[in-house]
Every structure is written in structure tokens, then in C-alpha cells.
Amino acid sequence: MAKNQVVVSITGQTSGLQKALGESESALGKFSKIAGVAAAAVATVATAIGVKAVKSASELEQSMGGLESVFKNNFGVMEEYATKAASSVGLAKS
């Protein structure tokens, strides 16, 4: 049995495809720049929230230390009042 080989050559206009690929690449580049800016903004906000949380925790710890030094034996009762005020009235525990 003879083995035959068939070669097919296809030619066509590729300028439309090249233009579409170029536009896609440009759009992806713009998207990546926007995504980078958005990621930087999110990181900045997250850092600011973290700093504020640490500062608030530090201030609460300082307040609780002052409360304990003033009320000594009654500190537990005063802390309970502060916790109830924070949850029921919306005041800060500190």
C-alpha cells in the first residue's frame, strides 16, 4: 500500500486578528494598572485600620489600668459596668 502525503496551504488576511489582539493586550495593560492602584489603596486602608485598632486597644488597656488603680478591690464591678455601657448604650468601654 502506498503512503501519500497531502500538503494544504491556507492563506488569509490576518490584519483584523492582529488588531483585535493588540486591543486586547492594551486593555489588559490598562486593567493591570488599575488593579495595581486598587490593591495599593486597599493595602493603605488596611494598614490605617490596623494602626487605629492597635491604638484603640492600647488606649483601652491604659484606661483599664487607671480604673484598676482607682477602684482597686471594686475593679471587677466597674469593668462590668463599663462592658454593659458599651453594649447597651453604645458608649465606648474605655
How many Cβ atoms sit within 10 Å of the Cβ of residue 60?
14
Give the residue numbers spanning the domain of 62.
Answer: 17-89
Q: Is residue 7 part of a domain?
A: no
CB-based contacts of 93, cutoff 8 Å, min separation 6 = 60, 63, 82, 83, 85, 86
**% the chain with pLDDT above 90:** 20
In a domain, 71, yes or no: yes
34, part of any domain:
yes
Within a domain: 36 = yes
pLDDT tens figures, 57-88: 898 889 889 988 898 888 889 888 888 888 88
Q: Is position 32 within any domain? A: yes
d(CA 25, CA 18): 11
> 2 in a domain, yes or no?
no
For the chain, the domain total comes to: 1
Q: Are 67 and 75 in contact (CB under 8 A)?
A: yes
For the chain, give the number of residues. 94
Is residue 9 one of the residues assigned to a domain? Answer: no
Is the pTM higher than 0.85? The answer reads no
Domain presence at residue 76: yes
